[in-house]
Structure formats: structure tokens, C-alpha cells
Amino acid sequence: MPKKTTAIETVAAVAPRVTKPKAPRKTAATEVTAAPRVKSVKHSKASVPVAVVEVSAPEVVAAAPVNATEQIAKIAYGYFEARGYQHGFAEQDWLRAEQEYLGRA
């Protein structure tokens, strides 16, 4: 009894075989000029060059001005959060925050 063949097997038997073109051979000249490929690079902070700067006299750095209103608002919002975001006490929170801010200064 003859063996049953599929359409793919029939086409594969009839179709010519496709091959990849061969890569050119490496010579001494191409080996020297060709750079190796890098697949991945690992960076480390230790390999980064660090510049050394000498300061002859200590410099005075002025502190950035503090906006009191923003600081008080942050403290008041903290009280609002602590109360569970319950509305109706904004003025009390603000006055309490002002007292706390002035007590820190």
C-alpha cells in the first residue's frame, strides 16, 4: 500500500532548496579594522571621573527665603487630614497652624 503524502511534503519535494548566501571570509585586514560588538554595558558610579575643585576661601550661602503662608497652609492641611477630611474647621486649623509655625521660629 503506498504511503499517503500531504501537500506540504509534495511541494517540499518539488521546490528547489533555498540556501543563505555565505558570509565573506575574514582576512587579517578585516579582523584588525572590525570593532567587536557590544551587547550590553554595565555602568557603575565608581568608573565616572570626578573633578576635584579647590576653594580658596569658604563661601557664605544665603538660605532660600521661606514662604510663611505656604508653610502654615501645609500645617493646616495636616490638621485637616488628621481629622479625616472633615470640612467646617478651616479657620480653626489655620489659626492653630499659625501658632505652631510661630512657635517653631
- The pTM (predicted TM-score) of the whole model is 0.40
Q: Tell me which residue range forms the domain holding 102.
A: 66-105
**List of residues 6+ apart from 86 with CB closer than 8 A:** 80
Q: Are the C-beta atoms of 79 and 97 separated by less than 8 Å?
A: yes
The verdict on residue 7 lying in a domain is no
As a whole number of angstroms, the distance between CA 68 and CA 98 comes to 9
Q: Treating both helix axes as pointing N-terminal to C-terminal, what angle do 90-104 and 68-82 enclose, rounded to 10 degrees?
A: 120
Q: Is 103 within the bounds of a domain? A: yes
The rounded distance, in Å, linking the Cα atoms of 29 and 96 is 81
Rg of the chain over Cα atoms, rounded to whole angstroms, equals 39
The reply to whether 40 falls in a domain is: no
Flag whether 83 is in a domain: yes
How far apart are alpha carbons 65 and 90 in whole angstroms? 26
CA 8 from centroid of its chain's CA atoms? 50
pLDDT in tens, the chain (105 residues): 566 666 666 655 655 666 677 766 666 555 555 556 656 655 555 555 556 666 666 666 666 667 999 999 999 999 999 999 999 999 999 999 999 999 987
Q: Is residue 76 part of a domain?
A: yes
Residue 73 placed within a domain: yes
Domain membership flag for residue 27:
no
What is the count of structural domains for the chain? 1
